[in-house]
Structure 1
């Protein structure tokens, strides 16, 4: 059951728009968000009409099929109302609205959706987007031409492919049924929230376990802190089992909360109508349904943008590679100004370069084998050579070699003095036999 106080609805104009063209509804079994469009006066009229037609659906249903049929019928009726409003007031031509709605029927959520408002499900500490945006960039994402992250900042992210409007008297809603469980939290929102606050931060707020009202306030604050360039509408509902109709008054927010919001007064020349006594620029539409030829133009533009992006990426990689090659060349040249004394097998050698290697690349070259044997060096000099001795220049290296040569000569001289001279062998004396005759 959706208990009293287990749902919340909030709507805010945002920091840029001068009027609120969003509407939201949180009742006993019906929860909905509508994001209006259509410029001066059109957006708030459109979202108000949509909520007005959906509101009677806040009742009980025998089956989910009945709820689906009611949702589709309400959307069709609302589309007819929008067509008549545009016909009666030509200045409203092009008005329309997104609609994302849930009707709770026993253990199921019956969902109807058109446009780019969203429905999320928070279950087991995980946030999942349930609806798919009916936008141009979403088609690009679905076709693999851009990533979801690129879609967030695409210049055409607000171009809608499907919407409830005065252009179609038989709107095509995405309709489906999902089982819902105790502990589920459903979030419905306009793109004033989802376009500013990413899913990671939305989920973080959800995990705080705050009541729906406080959660909605926290999400709204994040949208405002992010600049809130559009109206922000949030509807939250917590699920605790089955969903019979409960007593209580539904919460209606945004333009639909003002009964006069669905009236279309005559415009006075040179002035805004009394319903919108604010500057005209702030009422420009945030969404529109493009004509087919315009979509082709967008696709071609996107191809050109993708080509420029690839060229830019390749150029950046080439520049980076050239910079690395240049830096490597300069570094290698510097190493070749260095010298050191080392050992090559059994002799002392002068090397040009540095002792370190760069992977398989050797940064030193033997330039002179001195023919000084390691075995001829004093122990301390031999140990120094085996560890290598740095030299500031080639002449410095040659001076070190001279000192090593002197050390080797001294060792050989010492070894020569320490060798004893063998004694001469005695000359044998002929023996005399005294007893001989």
Structure 2
């Protein structure tokens, strides 16, 4: 059964790189995006080999299981093609490519994925990322060590854990089947789009309801406006809907569209690059599949950075607490140089208090320093009121002088 829908594929070199290492394919039943890696020539070769190997899958299938088996077999064969290419041209060692492919079978999408290119589904005005990046930072996100937003700007966001390459004759693709509905729009793209244009702007373009070709142009324009530091490849697939299929001829874009077939230009020996910074030089590899021991070192380094950051926060918190404690201690010490005369509620007698008359929440900022034998009821009414309202003293000697005056005010016969 031939898929009923319409599609478009475009690929752009971007604003920084000198050549296009991406490849894309949009056919009758098959849709593919491949983002090559491996330096000046290797990336072109890898993505081209993958697309040209998979284009033989563009036909109907009796079942989704048959389509899955064919997709996995084609990916394995493509890996073998890369291994043979490196044997013929040793300077291409380390070449590889991401791969995202959809085969439409009746009302289902058979999906194969490896690397950090992505597949999105736009349905009911909602955009959902279907694939999970096979990257170092995605592992950190899955482990809860960083947030998705932090992953977007992490310096190692393009260190790949899995790719289709000359290093693995039996590549492990994520394979799954999803039901698809009339009106669904599938978006396949390299990280030249997803790494620059956020989902908010993707959704803004998709909601315009334009034909696949114009929608792809709109998404590309966002990537170019964002600097387009990498190649950008976009494939859009509509399931049924308002946009009829204009031509039944497959569209091949990017490196795989070379009219002379797969051409391997003379290339400088590629220098492996583990990082994929936003402004990386155009003739350097965009991806690298690191060895296990290197990845472990990255994980340990990330752990050490997290520990240092945690200790930094703890040290800062300790400093702040110490400063607050010093301020509190200093403030309390100052209050203990203050005195006032008032009533000791326990004995109902006049007392000298050390501290200040205010309280700090539940904490009293004063205490009885010296109780006297002067009963409040023995004082004249005026002095009783004065003592009840407390009388501040400038020093301990001043407080003792106030007590002496209160004692002298007691009428004859009541003096203790």
Q: In structure 2, how many angstroms separate the alpha carbons of the residues matched to 1:47 and 1:349?
A: 90
Report how far residue 68 of structure 1 moved: 2.1
How far, CA to CA, are the matches of 1:304 and 1:266 in structure 2? 37
Q: Cα distance 1:376–1:24, how it changes in 2: closer, same or farther (>3 A)? A: farther
**In the alignment, which of 314, 319, 322 is matched to residue 322 of structure 1?**
319
Contact kept? 2:339, 2:396, Cα under 8 Å: no
Q: CA-to-partner distance for each residue in 1:213-240, whole Å, 9 max, x for gaps?
A: 5654554455455554332323233334
Residue 309 (str. 1) matches residue 312 (str. 2): no
User: Paired residue for 1:275?
Assistant: none
Determine if the alignment matches structure 1 residue 181 to structure 2 residue 178: no
Structure 2: how far apart are the matches of 1:126 and 1:17?
33
Pairing 1:87-106 to 2, within 5 Å after superposition = 87-106=87-106
d(CA) in 2 for partners of 1:217, 1:373: 92
What's the secondary structure of 2:103's corresponding residue? strand
Give the drift of 1:320. 1.5
Matched ranges for 1:120-269 at <5 A: 120-139=120-139, 141-142=141-142, 144=143, 146-149=145-148, 151-199=151-199, 201=200, 205=204, 208-211=207-210, 212-213=212-213, 215-217=215-217, 219-224=219-224, 226-240=226-240, 247-260=247-260, 262-266=262-266
2:293 maps to what in 1?
Answer: 296
* SS across alignment from 2:236: strand
Aligned to 2:276: none
1:95 positional shift: 1.8
**What is the aligned counterpart of 1:355 among 336, 355, 358?**
358
Q: Secondary structure at the match of 2:68?
A: helix
User: Deviations for 1:284-313, whole angstroms, at most 9, x for unmatched residues?
Assistant: 1122233xxx31243134224413431441
In 1: Cα distance, 2:370 partner to 2:233 partner: 81
Question: How many angstroms does 1:383 deviate by?
Answer: 12
**Secondary structure at the counterpart of residue 186 of structure 1:** strand
Task: From the superposition, tell whether residues 334 and 224 of structure 1 become closer, same or farther in structure 2 (CA, over 3 Å).
Answer: farther
Aligned length: 389
Question: Alpha-carbon deviation of 1:321?
Answer: 1.8
Alpha-carbon distance in structure 2 between the residues aligned to 1:237 and 1:364: 78
User: How far apart in 1 are the matches of 2:104 and 2:60?
Assistant: 8
How far off its partner does 1:194 sit? Answer: 3.1
Distance 1:377 1:9 in 2: 99
TM normalised by structure 1 equals 0.71
Q: Is the 8 A contact 1:40 1:92 kept in 2?
A: no
**What is the CA-CA distance between 1:173 and the residue it aligns to?**
2.4
Equivalent-residue separation in structure 2 for 1:93 and 1:17 (angstroms): 21
Note the C-alpha offset of 1:54.
2.6
Considering only CA atoms, is the larger Rg found in Structure 1 or Structure 2?
1
Residue 196 of structure 1 and its aligned partner are, at CA, apart by 4.0
**What is the SS of the residue equivalent to 2:132?**
coil
Can you list the C-alpha shifts for 1:236-295, whole angstroms capped at 9, x where unaligned? 333347x998844444333233324622245699xxxxxxxxxx95221122233xxx31
Instruction: Give the whole-Å Cα distance in 2 for the aligned partners of 1:147 and 1:66.
Output: 39
Q: 2:120 is paired with a residue of what secondary structure?
A: strand
